[in-house]
Amino acid sequence: MIAKAALFSVVSQQLRGDALWGERVYHDAAPRGVAYPYVVFFVAGGGELNLHRTPDAEIVVSVKAVADNLAVAFECAARIQDLLNDRGASDIRAGLPDAPGGWLIISSTQGLDISLVDYVDQSDKRIYHEGAQYEFFMQKVGE
């Protein structure tokens, strides 16, 4: 299993079921008409790290909440931070689900903020995207 697949599984599992967005967690894009707020995550960069000769990876994932209310968007971003930042196996708040495929997520670190405002179709209705990039350091330790 490639690192990205293992990571997607963990991020999805960690985020699902939160009181704010429930099961509305999607990778890459949300389906049309899904209720607000929802969470979307997608790869922003990285890959095989080649720091060791055993498989390892450093992958940056953008994770953002999309809401039609700025206060809700901010609240969702704070929840995402609590669920993902410093949650790797070696971090101070270790608590991510076990990764499949023999992968271990050693650390997860919040990076740049994501913040933008968009309009729904061609109306005046605003939607707010709030979140951050998270850098995941991973190593394959098993099969």
Partner 1 sequence: MPTTNTNDTYLSIGGVDFSDYFVSVEISQTNNAVEVTTGHAQTDVQRLPGLNDRTLTATIRSDTGFDTTELTPLIVGTQQTVSYGPEGNTSGLPKFEGSMILTQIDGPSANVNKDVHSLELTLTQADVPTATIENGDTFA
Instruction: Name the site residues for partner 1 (rule: CB under 8 A).
Output: 50-54, 90, 107, 109, 137
Among residues 52, 31, 49, which one has the least CA distance to residue 40? Answer: 31
Nearer to partner 1, 127 or 141 (CB): 141
Nearer to partner 1, 54 or 122 (CB): 54
Q: Which is nearer to partner 1, 54 or 123 (CB)?
A: 54
Q: Cβ closer to partner 1: 25 or 107?
A: 107
Shortest Å, Cβ 24 to partner 1? 31
DSSP for 17-77, written as a single string: TBTTTBT-EEES-PPTTPPSSEEEEEEEEEEE--SSSS-EEEEEEEEEEEESSHHHHHHHH
Contact at 8 Å (CB) between 142 and 101? no
Task: Indicate the length of the chain as a whole number.
Answer: 143
